[in-house]
Amino acid sequence: MQRKLTPPGYRPRQRGETDGKTVVESFAHALAGVVHAFRTQRHMRAHLIIIGMVMLAALFLRIPAWETVALFVSIALVLLTELFNTALEMAVDLVTQRYHPWARIIKDVAAGAVLVASANAILVGLVVFLRPHRWSERVAELLQHAPRRSPMETMLITALGVALLAVIVVALKARGRAGTFLAGGAVSGHSALAFFLAASILFLTASLEACLLALGLALLISQSRVQAEIHTTREAVLGALVGAGTAALTFLLTHFL
């Protein structure tokens, strides 16, 4: 006989009894479901990181309203399908703890919905962010009003940015209490430096082609750290975000000085 699983504190509803929840309580329960999905599902956390990067890129490029709406709709579809996928998997596991071909099909179909939504989001992102000359024109617009600097001043600003990056990476590694500056730890220093240089090339040259080449090299460096099992994928992604963010902060601040 199969054992019935019930969550802690569960009490069957009596006949004629309503749930008695207010709108605020219903909202709180819904929010708790979203938080639970982010806490327990690795893919949801990965989506959160990607969403943050997309929003920063949209703000930087000043994406038009209709393209921003397309991004929001695509993001919402991915999150909704992930939430439904999580709910269906938990419901199937609640009904049966044994292998069943129908249970596998249900989970595969739910995962397929996530795949379709993710593919759609990727296509929308490519159309929005990889339009010809969008990045180079935006960077050129920023640099057009920037004060002219000598090569020595540019090197000094870049060196200061690298120093700031080193401080941030050391602080994050110290907070994680693992690894050294050159190996291991809560954030990949190699990934941070590689993406700092890639972003710096974009700000200094306003060339999308040069930036894409530098970005490809930065991705290879990050992948090598993961493949060598020195860092996890999460640590490499965090390093990339720290490096690119530090470069943006450095050059955007000095733009006004």
- The angle at the Cα of 24, spanning 18 to 25, to the nearest 5 degrees, equals 50
Q: Which of 243, 244, 222, 241 is nearest to 233 (CA)?
A: 222
Residue 250 pLDDT > 70: yes
Among the residue ranges 4-13, 49-58, 181-190, 196-205, the one predicted with the least confidence is: 4-13
pLDDT band of residue 20 (cuts 50, 70, 90) is low
Are 186 and 235 in contact by the 8 Å Cβ rule? The answer is yes
Statement: residue 57 has pLDDT above 50? yes
* Residues 54, 81: Cα–Cα separation, whole Å: 19
Distance between CA atoms of 92 and 110, rounded to whole angstroms? 11
Give, as one character, the DSSP assignment of residue 16. Answer: T
Residue 10 has pLDDT above 50, yes or no: no
**Residue 2: per-residue pLDDT:** 45
Catalytic residue among 17, 67, 82, 153: 82
Work out the average pLDDT over 152-176. 75
**Per-residue DSSP letter, 232:** -
Give 92-139 pLDDT, tens digit per residue: 877 777 777 777 888 888 888 888 998 999 998 888 888 767 777 776
Q: Among 65-79, 201-215, 219-233, which range has the highest average pLDDT?
A: 65-79
67 flagged as catalytic: no
Average pLDDT over residues 142-162: 71
Q: How far apart are CA 235 and CA 222, in angstroms?
A: 9
List of domains in the chain: 24-129 (1.10.287.3610), 134-255 (no CATH)
Distance CA(3)–CA(96), nearest Å, equals: 9
Rounded Cα gap, residues 205 and 198, in angstroms: 11
What's the pLDDT score for residue 182?
A: 53
Task: Label residue 16 left, alpha or beta by phi (over 0 means left) and psi (-120 to 50 means alpha).
Answer: left
Q: What is the pLDDT of residue 107?
A: 82
In this prediction, residues 61-75 reach a mean pLDDT of: 84
